[in-house]
Amino acid sequence: MASRRRSSKPTSYRTYGNVAYAPAYEGSTAPRRNQQTVRPPRPKQRPRALTRTQVQVREAGQVSLFAVMGFLAVGVLAALLMFSFSQQTVLNRELSNLRRDLAALESDHATLSAQYEKVFDLELIQQAVGDQMVRPTTDQIVYLDLSEPDNVILYGEERTGGAAGALQGFRDVLSSIAAYFH
């Protein structure tokens, strides 16, 4: 091993701004006058034989069951998404048709209401009935109190509560999901 000599003299660096230059560098690449340039002899180049590089190939590993299940799940979800888009397209078309029918029915309602108003003449009815038509009395007037919330139970249908009601509700949800996909 070659040993390096250390001089006892500290090395001083020149700076230009914030860039420090090595002490041996004096701003020129030319050697100093008192130094001789010695170039090492060039070795003779031998022609190299061309060889093909060795490529290392990794062996094929096993396919993960989790990856297969993940790809299948993504495929199923993509199919369900496409199915729901097709259903949405069909429903949008039906909704457009129903709105067109509603507009036609509303215009028909307006014309029929106008015709009804023309036909309905209270004086003509009074002449046809005579003096028999009178205003209702207070005992003939019935008032309905609709302040309570709606609660309808069909005849023969019993409401079940507790675990049986929860089970019935779960069955109803599953049947509605099955009806959605059919």
Paired with 19 in beta bridges are 16
Unique residue bearing structure tokens 């914030």: 18
Distances (CA, A) of 58 to 55, 61, 66, 145: 10, 9, 22, 83
132 confidence band (pLDDT: 50, 70, 90): confident
- Determine the residue type at 116: Y
- CA 108, CA 113: separation in Å to the nearest integer? 8
Unique residue bearing structure tokens 């109190």: 145
pLDDT at 83 over 90: yes
SS (H, E, C) the chain: CCCCCCCCCCCCCEEECCEEECCCCCCCCCCCCCCCCCCCCCCCCCCCCCCCCCCCCCCCCCCCHHHHHHHHHHHHHHHHHHHHHHHHHHHHHHHHHHHHHHHHHHHHHHHHHHHHHHHCCHHHHHHHHHHHCCCCCHHHCCCCCCCCCCCCCCCCCCCCCHHHHHHHHHHHHHHHHHHHHC
Evaluate if pTM is beyond 0.75: no
pLDDT digits (tens, 9 = 90+) for 15-53: 555 555 555 555 555 555 555 666 767 777 777 777 778
pLDDT at 105 over 90: yes
Model pLDDT, residue 22: 53
- CA 113, CA 109: separation in Å to the nearest integer? 6
- CA 117, CA 54: separation in Å to the nearest integer? 99
